[in-house]
Amino acid sequence: MHETIARMMEVVAKGDDTLIAGLLAEDVRFQPPTYWATWTGRAPVAAVLGHVGKVFTEFRYRRVMGEGKDWALEFQCKVGELDAVGVDLITLDDAGLIETFEVVMRPLKSIAALREAMNARVQTDPRFLEFRKALG
């Protein structure tokens, strides 16, 4: 297993965006399961993933598939009282940092709960006002 993937598996559920940031390429692209959009850049993506790590509980990876630059990590967790399963689809760059990170999840009820919890967190995190200004 690639060392970046192994390290990500250790830190993602901790919700510590400083640990996550060190694994991300400067121009990383993140596609969340809650809406059709892309977050771009190390700081915003680390912040989003840090919040996700605090919303998910009982998080664990069940299977890891991949080699080289392309990885799929199946996980299970809870969002509030709701069960969820999903897959992190990750591509590494030539330096071994996370270049793209897409999350797919089910069921719909859990994704809706995740979106609600994330919106509440983002609205109280002043960094996101800065990220939005930077996006124009």
User: Domain locations in the chain?
Assistant: 3-135
Report the alpha-carbon distance of residue 18 to residue 74 in Å, rounded. 23
Cα 69 to Cα 7, 46, 88, 91: the distances in Å are 15, 20, 13, 5
* Lowest-pLDDT range of 8-17, 49-58, 121-130: 121-130
* Residues 6 or more apart whose Cβ sits within 8 Å of residue 75: 59, 60, 61, 62, 85, 86, 87, 88
pLDDT at 132 (0 to 100): 63
Using the Cα atoms of residue 26, residue 27, residue 33 and residue 34 in order, give the sign of their dihedral: positive
Write the CATH number of the domain with boundaries 3-135. 3.10.450.50
Q: Can you give the pTM of this predicted structure? A: 0.87
Has residue 135 got a pLDDT over 70? no
Question: pLDDT for 34-93, tens place per residue?
Answer: 887 888 999 999 988 888 888 899 999 999 999 999 999 999 999 999 999 999 999 999
Has residue 129 got a pLDDT over 80? no
3-state secondary structure of 121: helix
What is the residue-averaged pLDDT of the chain? 89
Assigned token pair, 88: 């992190």
Has residue 136 got a pLDDT over 70? no
Angle at 66 between CA 20 and CA 36, to 5 degrees: 60
Helix axis angle for 126-135 and 42-55, nearest 10°, is 140
CB count, 10 Å around CB of 2?
A: 16
Has residue 103 got a pLDDT over 90? yes
